[in-house]
């Protein structure tokens, strides 16, 4: 059975996800290749600032803060799909078809929104997903120069408390709020956050969140 990452790699041209505050928490290699924004600069940024999408028909700005995709109603209602024009890394307009998959978050009545990007003119996403499930090829592993396989089993290196802290961090909570939620001191919460970053081999809390979503830790 193929993993979710393998299916998406085969079926779509790029995948990114945002939290309820529209911050990008996941940005895959396909998005880097399509739009020219490396994950290091995209993660933690408002998706509207990164995509700057326009209405294909009118040319008017489409992406904005507080849009219905990133902040759906309490019942999870949100557009299932839409099309936008975006600028590529070489300043060319490209039409993207985007399908939305809502993922319930740990906070009540909030959602994370996965955006499945498809370049216009290709088969639709559902058709491609069906093909990918049938063929389920092994997705290639993208490694930057000098990367190692040190983090092959990240879940096993985190304590139960660190997993709880990471889950709350993924919801956009600050160290102070996490401390209050878990009834621990702010210093203890900060220590947990530092330990999480060290164990996952990342350099910021945003990178820790992105890593967690990428490896199904939350």
Instruction: Express each pLDDT in 50-73 by its tens digit.
Output: 998 888 888 888 888 877 665 554
| CATH number, domain containing residue 162 | 1.10.10.10
The answer to which of 25-29, 97-101, 137-141 has the lowest mean pLDDT is: 137-141
The per-residue pLDDT for range 29-44, each reduced to its tens digit, is 888 888 888 888 898 8
Q: Cα separation of 136 and 6, whole Å? A: 7
Both structure tokens of 101? 């998959």
Q: Alpha helix locations (H) across 114-154? A: 125-135
Same domain, 9 and 74: yes
Find all residues with CB under 8 Å of 186, minimum gap 6, and list them.
Answer: 175, 176, 179
Q: Is residue 181 part of a domain?
A: yes
Question: For residue range 76-90, what is the model confidence (pLDDT) as tens digits?
Answer: 455 577 888 998 777
Same domain for 161 and 131?
no
Residue 149 lies in a domain: no
Lowest mean pLDDT among 92-96, 99-103, 114-118: 99-103
Helix, strand, or coil (residue 118): strand
Residue-level pLDDT at 182: 92
Position 36 in a domain: yes
Q: Do 120 and 183 lie in a common domain?
A: no
Tell me, yes or no, whether 159 and 131 share the same domain.
Answer: no
204 vs 52, 113, 143, CA distance in Å? 25, 22, 19
54 and 129 assigned to the same domain:
yes
User: 212 vs 218, which has greater pLDDT?
Assistant: 212
CATH number at residue 56: 3.30.450.20
- For residues 129 and 168, membership in a common domain is answered with no
| pLDDT reported for residue 71 | 56
Question: What is the rounded average pLDDT of the residues 119-135?
Answer: 51
Which of residues 100, 135, 170 is at a domain's end?
Answer: 135
| Residue 115 within a domain | yes
- Same domain? For 113 and 159 the reply is no
Q: How many percent of the chain have pLDDT more than 90?
A: 8
Is 44 part of any domain?
Answer: yes
* Residues whose CB is less than 8 angstroms from the CB of residue 13 and which lie 6 or more positions away in sequence, other chains included: 30, 34, 96, 117, 118, 119, 122
Question: What is the pLDDT, as a whole number, of residue 180?
Answer: 92
If asked whether residues 13 and 106 sit together in one domain, one would say yes
Q: What angle do CA 29, 115, 56 make, to 5 degrees?
A: 105
- Are 17 and 94 part of one and the same domain? yes
Has residue 146 been placed in a domain? no
* pTM score over 0.85: no
| E runs forming strands in 46-187 | 81-87, 93-104, 111-119
Residue span of the structural domain in which 167 resides: 155-214
Q: Are residues 60 and 122 in the same domain?
A: yes
Answer yes or no: do 53 and 81 share one domain: yes
Across 135-163, average pLDDT: 56
* Overall domain count for the chain: 2
Of 16-30, 139-153, 167-181, the one with minimum mean pLDDT is 139-153
**What tokens were used for 214?**
């990428």
Do 172 and 65 reside in the same domain of the chain? no
pLDDT at 185: 92
């Amino acid at each position: 059975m193929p993993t979710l990452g393998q299916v998406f790699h085969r079926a779509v041209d790029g995948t990114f996800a945002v939290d309820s505050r529209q911050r990008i928490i996941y940005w895959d290699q396909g998005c880097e290749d399509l739009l020219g924004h490396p994950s290091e600069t995209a993660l933690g940024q408002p998706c509207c600032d990164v995509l700057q999408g326009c209405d294909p028909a009118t040319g008017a700005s489409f992406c904005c803060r507080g849009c219905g995709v990133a902040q759906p109603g309490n019942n999870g209602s949100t557009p299932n799909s839409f099309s936008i024009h975006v600028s590529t890394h070489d300043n060319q307009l490209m039409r993207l078809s985007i399908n939305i998959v809502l993922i319930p978050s740990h906070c009540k009545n909030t959602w994370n929104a996965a955006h499945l990007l498809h370049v216009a003119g290709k088969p639709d996403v559902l058709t491609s997903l069906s093909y990918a499930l049938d063929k389920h090829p092994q997705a290639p592993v993208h490694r930057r120069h000098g990367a190692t396989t040190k983090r092959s089993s990240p879940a096993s290196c985190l304590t139960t408390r660190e997993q709880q802290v990471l889950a709350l961090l993924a919801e956009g909570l600050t160290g102070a709020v996490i401390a209050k939620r878990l009834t621990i001191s702010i210093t203890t919460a900060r220590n947990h956050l530092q330990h999480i970053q060290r164990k996952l081999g990342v350099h910021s809390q945003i990178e820790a969140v992105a890593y967690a979503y990428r490896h199904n830790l939350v």
